[in-house]
Structure 1
Amino acid sequence: MNQTKPATAPAMEPKDVQRIIIGLMAVLLLAALDQTIVSTALPTIGRELGDVQHLPWMVTAYLLSSTVVTPLYGKLADIIGRRTTLLMAIGIFLFGSLLCSLSPNMYVLIAARAVQGLGGGGLMSLVQTVISDIVTAKERGRIQGVFAAVFTASSLGGPILGGVLSEHLGWQSIFWVNLPVGAVALWIVSRGLMKLPRYERPHRIDWLGAVLMAAAAIILLLAINTRGAAVMGVPLWAVYIVSAAFWGLFALRLRTAAEPLIPTGILKDGVIVRAILVSTLSMGALMSVSAYNPLYVQLIYHMGATQAGMVMTPLALGVVGGSILSGQMMARGKGTGYKLMPMIGLFAGAVIYAGMAVIGDRLNLWAYIGGLFFANAAVGSTFPVATVVVQNAVERHEMGTATGVMNFFRSLGGALLVAVFGAILFGELYALFGGSFNGALSADALSRVSDPARIYKPIFTGAAVSMGLAFLALWSMQERPLRSREMPVSKAAEEATGETLSDADFS
């Protein structure tokens, strides 16, 4: 594989690397907070704007726009550079936040959330791409683990902050708060990334392919997030067929385009495909159990909604712990052996979820929390490994594209698995209640179920199957040695992080 040589850039000092890392953490704070801070403010927003009916579209609009632009940001980062693309994403996100805070009604707010998502969709993958430019693959897992901790801590604090701000300062404040944080991120990133090595090459964006992919993803996400049998009057089964047709056209475009949106070399690389599968399947298991866990705790352990929400905190900490530990092991290894911990974790997670499906209701609360803590840690252990493996498998000028594609399919696949597990759960409820079930999932609605644990067995069973399949994908994935001679800024990164980057190339 020919190594791409970076374009000429000013020499980086340790303080430059430190500044970049701080700036990236601020960007990550924006991305994490926005995904959770809105949730607790939704009732207040619906009440004050006098429109509760369209409230779910606030979440859906952001989800749709942020998901479909993720691979486009990766491609742009490989064409015009990381700094310009990241500044553009932050700028669009802040502009969308400003529009949200000034929205006079629900329709304008939904449109503003879509604009916000157009920027937010690039934040996470671009942060991961910039990290790949300043830290070697071997050391990258350590940094990814720390960033995962920042992301999770922000996610946990988001609902609390959203509730406090919306109650005391008005719902607009949950969007105003993005502006000072974003301004700091813009300033640090703008200055720090001037010295970032540049690996971009002239590329063309396949706009037809981008439109086909966006249409396929948007239609699929609309179907996934629809409660009912139709989307805007169109039967749900027909919507899925239309989405499948667009995916087929997108696949055909990948084969025929002179320069496809996703390079075929990425899609043909077995290591990349398996790493994306591992990330998607484990994320799907995590999202599915997390989505329905608060209600399960209310039904089985007779807790209130607030107490059930607090149970999520140690589970999120499990993800952080697994991610950090896995990243540390990658950094301490010699570029190999990084599959061992996530393989053990995925196997153990599959066993834990299978046990929950069989005897979950017989466990006391602490045993239940402990089991899910370790299962979540198993999921967390896959995050740095999957990201670094994908980046390690491509050339420098395709790093942004590969990272964006991984995040795109992980988000889309995770949402799809949640929808599949949810459909199975709702099928159980309709079988129990028949026509009397109105589709509302609440503790009061399900209090009539004599054996509530039974209706949740498909969720835990599905999670076990997902983790098992992720284990098989990781087990069959070739363990390529992680590159350690790739960074012209390795010495600066070594001094900035206090870690030894052995055999680094300082040329």
Structure 2
Amino acid sequence: MMSISVLSLCGSVEGTIVVNALPTISADLGGSDLYIWIPNAFFLASITALPLYAQLSNIFGRRIVLLAAVALFTIGCILCGASSSITMLIIARAVQGLGSGGVDTLCETVILDLVPLRERGKYISFVSIGTTLGYTAGPFLGGLIIVKLGWPWIFYLSAILSGISFIMFFCFLKVKHQRGQGLKAKMMRIDFGGNLIFIGAVVAVLLALTWAGPVYKWNDTRIITPLVLGLLGLCAYIAFEWTPRLAPEPSFPRAIVSNRTSAAVLAMTLVNSITMYGTFYFLPVYFQGVLAKSPLGSGIALAPVSALVVPFAVASGILLSKIGKYRPIHALGWACTLLTVGLCSTLNHKSSAAAWAIFEVIGAIGLGALSISLLPAIQAPLPESLTAASAGSYSFARGFGAVWGVTIPSAVFNNAVKGKANFITDPTLMSRLANGQAYQLATKAFLDSIPSADSALRNQIISIFEHAIHQVFYVLVAFAGLGLLLVLVEKEIVLRTENNTEFGLEESTNAD
């Protein structure tokens, strides 16, 4: 259990820790026009591998596939820390992301195999301590490590932890898996066609989202074409998977979304990820671009949510196991999330520390409640045979939402700044902020670069950043409202108290 928590921490923290490190890494390695690929290569690689990992774990067993994912993640971490150019770092982040995708979905799947559905919330809450702590504490850890050790140690520390986890899994993880089939028969079961369509579609969508804004305008054909083709590709993937003649053993079975509860909660997962990432990417923008805090100071300012999200998550997991009902927990989580983003839309340069600290506490309640209760609700109407596939679908919705949760708010922020840039009296700064660089420039270092004698110009820019952040949170209010409405769609289904699965712990008499 400890190894799984540590691995979940490593995987999730690598998705957020570079938030504060991006300016430093970009300045050190150069290639500022490629900076966006440092986080996005990780997300792209981790998301595209999810359905394949879920299916491989059913065919070859959880243990060997999880060990391969951990090894890949560890190698990626080492390569990231050793990178001497922006291109090498981007490639290494992709390797790291490939491993993280497997770590993300298989850590949860192993736990799901071991305990009945009703008890899973309690166990997942302890495992998700690593995940939720990584999402919220990543920016703080990134700022601290940069100051104390230098940015390569962001990756080296993860490599050390994941390496220890690999050894512990290798020695102690003994779980059942299907035996008797040869390698050729197992390879024939892999959904190669569906996974190839899925990978191509997701890559096209994420390329469009990565290029939109920093590289090309949203209405450019080089954005519209891959975006449309990618979305059509996802539709083709679904059609392929749901045609038994083409995919006799699909990586995305139709049964996962054939009931309204699983479908609604998968949509909730996507919306929650968008809202969560948008909030935790743009609170640091507020702290640095409006309050002029350093990256480390920004991380410290996130301490309330970082400290409280874990106990709230554990409490939600225990409550779910005790009452066996997930709809009240979803309603509470979305209500707190909606209140949080609504309150954050009022933040300005005069807001007190007490105000934004209280907002973060409310947000921690919402995040803790939703992070634990969504997956059990997805699986409530489904048979145990779909445990890995449903966990993979959940991880995909969460990861895909993370990309949209960065892209949509960034586009809103840049466009809002562009709309007000003509009020800036300095033509050079006006040009930089109006040309899609506002998100990168919303830092204390940028504000400090403005001559101290020109306080009026500094105040103009802070005011524009403040306005743009308000627009971001208005959009997040709409997403949080949608999440709350989806609670009305799902049904309350009794959570199973027995666990009938072909996987699980291997009996000692059958141990290898």
Change (3 A) 1:179 1:316: closer
| 1:10-409 aligned within 5 A | 21-39=1-19, 41-42=21-22, 45-46=25-26, 49=29, 51-154=31-134, 158=138, 171-194=151-174, 196-198=175-177, 204-226=189-211, 227-229=214-216, 235-256=222-243, 257-259=246-248, 260-298=250-288, 301=291, 303-333=293-323, 335=324, 337-357=325-345, 364-409=352-397
Give the whole-Å Cα distance in 2 for the aligned partners of 1:280 and 1:411: 8
Which amino acid counterpart does residue 415 of structure 2 have in structure 1?
A: G
Tell me, yes or no, if structure 1 residue 474 matches structure 2 residue 454. no
Q: Is the CA contact (8 Å cut-off) linking 2:34 and 2:86 kept in structure 1? A: yes
Give the whole-Å Cα distance in 2 for the aligned partners of 1:304 and 1:103: 25
Change (3 A) 1:87 1:451: closer
Which amino acid counterpart does residue 245 of structure 1 have in structure 2?
A: L
Give the whole-Å Cα distance in 2 for the aligned partners of 1:483 and 1:411: 27
Aligned-residue offset at 1:122: 1.0
Change (3 A) 1:26 1:424: closer
Give the whole-Å Cα distance in 2 for the aligned partners of 1:204 and 1:184: 32
Aligned-residue offset at 1:223: 2.0
Aligned-residue offset at 1:358: 5.8
Q: Is the CA contact (8 Å cut-off) linking 2:238 and 2:252 kept in structure 1? A: no
Give TM-score scaled by structure 2 length: 0.81
Q: Is the CA contact (8 Å cut-off) linking 1:135 and 1:487 kept in structure 2? A: no
Aligned-residue offset at 1:116: 1.9
Which amino acid counterpart does residue 228 of structure 2 have in structure 1?
A: I
Give the whole-Å Cα distance in 2 for the aligned partners of 1:315 and 1:71: 31
What residue is the counterpart of 2:509 in the other structure? none
Give the whole-Å Cα distance in 2 for the aligned partners of 1:156 and 1:355: 19
Give TM-score scaled by structure 1 length: 0.82
Q: Structure 1 residues 25-34 or 267-276, which shifts more?
A: 25-34
Which amino acid counterpart does residue 236 of structure 1 have in structure 2?
A: I
2:471 aligned to which of 458, 475, 489 = 458
Which amino acid counterpart does residue 91 of structure 1 have in structure 2?
A: A
Which amino acid counterpart does residue 2 of structure 2 have in structure 1?
A: I
Change (3 A) 1:321 1:464: farther
Which amino acid counterpart does residue 314 of structure 1 have in structure 2?
A: P
Q: Structure 1 residues 152-161 or 77-86, which shifts more?
A: 152-161
Q: Is the CA contact (8 Å cut-off) linking 1:329 and 1:338 kept in structure 2? A: no
Give the whole-Å Cα distance in 1 for the aligned partners of 2:395 and 2:234: 18
Q: Is the CA contact (8 Å cut-off) linking 2:77 and 2:156 kept in structure 1? A: yes
Change (3 A) 1:250 1:97: same
What residue is the counterpart of 1:438 in the other structure? 435
What SS is found at the alignment partner of 2:460?
A: coil
Change (3 A) 1:141 1:303: same
| Gap regions ≥5 residues in structure 2 | 423-429, 448-456, 507-512
Change (3 A) 1:454 1:113: closer
Give the whole-Å Cα distance in 2 for the aligned partners of 1:491 and 1:109: 38
Q: Is the CA contact (8 Å cut-off) linking 2:46 and 2:98 kept in structure 1? A: yes
1:416 aligned to which of 404, 417, 428 = 404
What residue is the counterpart of 1:13 in the other structure? none
Aligned-residue offset at 1:47: 5.1
Aligned-residue offset at 1:69: 0.5
Give the whole-Å Cα distance in 2 for the aligned partners of 1:490 and 1:390: 19
Give the whole-Å Cα distance in 2 for the aligned partners of 1:224 and 1:307: 30
What SS is found at the alignment partner of 1:479?
A: coil
Change (3 A) 1:386 1:168: closer
What residue is the counterpart of 2:460 in the other structure? 448
Change (3 A) 1:153 1:369: same
Aligned-residue offset at 1:229: 1.7
Aligned-residue offset at 1:340: 0.8
Give the whole-Å Cα distance in 2 for the aligned partners of 1:156 and 1:304: 17
Change (3 A) 1:432 1:49: closer
Which amino acid counterpart does residue 42 of structure 2 have in structure 1?
A: Y
Percent identical pairs in the alignment equals: 23
- 1:58-107 superposed Cα distances (whole Å, 9 cap, x missing partner): 32222211111122111211221111110111122223234334445433
What residue is the counterpart of 1:7 in the other structure? none
